[in-house]
Amino acid sequence: MEAMPGAVALGENQMSNDGTVRIDATGIHYRDLNARLRELVAEGVQRIELHNVCGQRYLGTDLRRPVQLDIYGTPGNDLGAFMDGPRIIVHGNAQDGCANTMNDGEIIVHGHAGDITGFAMRGGKVFVREDVGYRVGIHMKEYQEKKPSLVIGGTAQDFLGEYMAGGVLVVLGLGLKADQYHRANFIGTGMHGGVIYLRGQVKDYQLGKEVGVLEPKEQDLKTLSQLVEEFSGYFGYNAGEILRAPFLKLVPLHLRPYGRLYAY
């Protein structure tokens, strides 16, 4: 991949007139790259562009100040892990573990995201324009005012929302035809909190035994409207057209589906 205009070597950061620092990540080890990001954020830099990213892991991890990180290329596993406040925009695809245990902030992916996206998310928002992999939204949780949101433009693979304990997971199925069903099986297996909104069709056998299906109510529609409008604003969709299609609301039937398994 060719370097973007204005991108420079790691040791020769270039700052534009608007204060954006541009870094060429070509061949830079992920530890060195992350160390430099932490230094820049500590110095008060508000926006950083990483060009030619190719598999570097943990980008955005342990950044605890407001900063916008634009990534050009494909970041590696655990993008934004344990992140607490920054905004990451990926101009491409993201690998596995995106938003792992993310506490706050925002991740916007202009492509696909891999397996276990949103694993144990406990705050913030993630928007993925295309499809995601397996076990997405697993162990999502919420506490008091912290309520994570994960919005997927396409569809997902198996074990979507597995062991979900809180938060909001939205799957829009925008790439599916009218007669197509979502791909995922075992949706919501072990789910005991939170809510999943599915736009489109799913068969009963695709759902975990712990999941009940409801029609969205007024408050659900408000939540959906807000998240779909944000999604549409980032990726150039028409929110009204998306919201005209029917949604399913998936909720846990029990708060402790495995409580008796360990009780004597």
Identify the domain boundary among 44, 63, 92.
92
Identify whether residues 86 and 161 lie together within a single domain. Answer: no
Q: Residue 22: what pLDDT?
A: 95
- The answer to whether position 101 is within a domain reads no
Mean pLDDT of 157-166: 96
Identify whether residues 259 and 197 lie together within a single domain. Answer: yes
Q: Residue 59: what pLDDT?
A: 97
Identify whether residues 6 and 49 lie together within a single domain. Answer: yes
18: pLDDT confidence band, cut at 50, 70 and 90? confident
254: pLDDT confidence band, cut at 50, 70 and 90? confident
Residue 200 or residue 18, greater confidence: 200
User: For 47, what's the count of Cα atoms within 13 Å in the CB-facing half-sphere?
Assistant: 8
d(CA 247, CA 229): 15
Our count of domains for the chain comes to 2
Query: Is residue 257 scored above 90 in pLDDT?
Result: no
Q: Residue 172: what pLDDT?
A: 98
pLDDT-above-90 percentage for the chain: 83
Residue 140 or residue 210, greater confidence: 140
Q: pLDDT tens for residues 97-111?
A: 999 999 999 999 999
247: pLDDT confidence band, cut at 50, 70 and 90? very high
Identify whether residues 174 and 233 lie together within a single domain. Answer: yes
- The answer to whether position 4 is within a domain reads yes
Query: Is residue 259 scored above 90 in pLDDT?
Result: no
Identify whether residues 82 and 167 lie together within a single domain. Answer: no
Query: Is residue 145 scored above 80 in pLDDT?
Result: yes
| CB 59 within 8 Å of CB 36 | no
d(CA 183, CA 65): 38
DSSP output for the chain: -PPPTT---GGG-EE-TTS-EEEE-TT--HHHHHHHHHHHHHTT--EEEEEEEES--STTTT--S--EEEEEEE--SSTTTT-EEEEEEEES-B-TTTTTT--EEEEEESS-B-TTTTTT--SSEEEESS---SSTTTT---BTTB--EEEESS---SSTTTT-EEEEEEE--TT--TT-B---SSBTTT--EEEEEEESB--GGGB-TTEEEE---HHHHHHHHHHHHHHHHHHT--HHHHHHS-EEEEEES-S-TTGGGS--
- The answer to whether position 182 is within a domain reads yes
> Cα–Cα–Cα angle for 154, 158, 161, nearest 5°?
80
- The answer to whether position 14 is within a domain reads yes
Identify whether residues 21 and 121 lie together within a single domain. Answer: no
62: pLDDT confidence band, cut at 50, 70 and 90? confident
Q: Residue 5: what pLDDT?
A: 41
Identify whether residues 84 and 119 lie together within a single domain. Answer: no
Q: Residue 8: what pLDDT?
A: 42
Q: Residue 258: what pLDDT?
A: 64
Average pLDDT, the chain: 91
pLDDT-above-70 percentage for the chain: 90
The pTM score is: 0.91
Identify whether residues 48 and 141 lie together within a single domain. Answer: no
Q: Residue 13: what pLDDT?
A: 63
| Burial letters 66-83, b for 16+ CB under 10 A, else e | ebebbbbbbbbbbbbbbb
Identify whether residues 121 and 66 lie together within a single domain. Answer: no
Q: Tokens in use for 34?
A: 């992350």
Host domain of residue 244: 113-264
Query: Is residue 11 scored above 50 in pLDDT?
Result: no
- The answer to whether position 34 is within a domain reads yes
263: pLDDT confidence band, cut at 50, 70 and 90? low
- The answer to whether position 102 is within a domain reads no
d(CA 230, CA 106): 11
- The answer to whether position 105 is within a domain reads no
